[in-house]
C-alpha cells in the first residue's frame, strides 16, 4: 500500500482514513510505502510525517524533507536529490544512482512520483533494491522531458532502453 504526506495533510477525514489504511495493511502483512511529500501550506505537520515513516517499510523523501523530518530507520529509505539522482539506505547498505542528464530539462513536476512508481513496480516484481532504484531514477529523469506529471511519465520500455 502506498500513500503520501499529502493524504495526511489535505483534511482530517483523509488523515483518519490514511491511519486506518496503514493499520489494516500492517495487520494483514501488506508492506506500506510512504512518500513524505511535505506540504506546509496544507498543514502537513512534521510529527505526523515522522509517525507515518515509522510505520512504513519503504519511505521516499527528498533531501530537503530529510532536513525537516529527519531520515527514518525504515527497511528501505530512498533519499531523492533532484537531478543528482537518489540514494537507497537499506540496513547498512547505502547505494547511490546518479540521474540521467536531460537536455533540455522541461519540467521536474512529478519526477518523485515517477521514481516511487517505478521503484515500487520493480520491487513488487521481485527486483533487488539496487535494480529498482536504477529504474526509479531513470523514470524520474525521463519524466523531466515534458510538462505535467502523469503525461510526462516514460513507458516501461523507455526505462528499460535507458538502462533500467
**Active-site annotation, residues:** 113
d(Cα 164, Cα 6) in Å, to the nearest integer?
28
DSSP-assigned beta bridge partners for residue 86: 80, 97
Length of the chain as a residue count = 164
C-alpha cell at position 14: 483523509
Sheet holding 58-62, edge to edge: 2-4, 33-35, 58-62, 76-80, 86-90, 93-97
Q: What is the Cα 3 distance to its own chain's centre?
A: 10
Strands 33-35 and 2-4 come out as: parallel
Rounded to whole angstroms, the Cα distance separating 6 from 60 reads 13
C-alpha cell at 76: 528501505
Give the separation between CA 24 and CA 85, rounded to whole angstroms. Answer: 33
Amino acid at each position: 500500500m502506498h500513500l503520501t504526506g499529502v493524504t495526511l495533510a489535505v483534511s482530517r477525514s483523509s488523515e483518519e482514513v490514511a491511519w486506518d489504511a496503514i493499520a489494516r495493511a500492517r495487520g494483514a502483512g501488506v508492506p506500506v510505502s510512504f512518500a513524505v511529500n511535505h506540504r506546509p501550506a496544507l498543514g502537513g505537520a512534521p510529527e505526523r510525517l515522522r509517525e507515518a515513516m515509522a510505520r512504513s517499510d519503504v519511505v521516499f523523501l527528498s533531501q530537503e524533507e530529510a532536513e525537516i523530518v529527519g531520515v527514518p530507520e525504515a527497511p528501505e529509505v530512498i533519499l531523492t536529490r533532484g537531478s543528482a539522482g537518489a540514494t537507497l539506505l537499506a540496513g547498512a547498505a547505502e547505494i547511490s544512482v546518479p540521474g540521467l542528464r536531460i537536455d533540455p530539462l522541461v519540467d521536474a513536476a512529478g519526477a518523485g512520483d515517477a521514481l516511487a512508481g517505478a521503484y515500487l513496480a520493480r520491487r513488487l516484481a521481485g527486483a533487488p533494491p539496487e535494480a529498482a532504484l536504477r529504474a526509479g531514477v531513470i523514470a524520474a529523469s525521463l519524466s523531466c522531458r515534458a510538462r505535467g506529471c502523469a503525461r510526462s511519465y516514460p513507458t516501461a520500455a523507455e526505462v528499460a532502453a535507458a538502462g533500467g
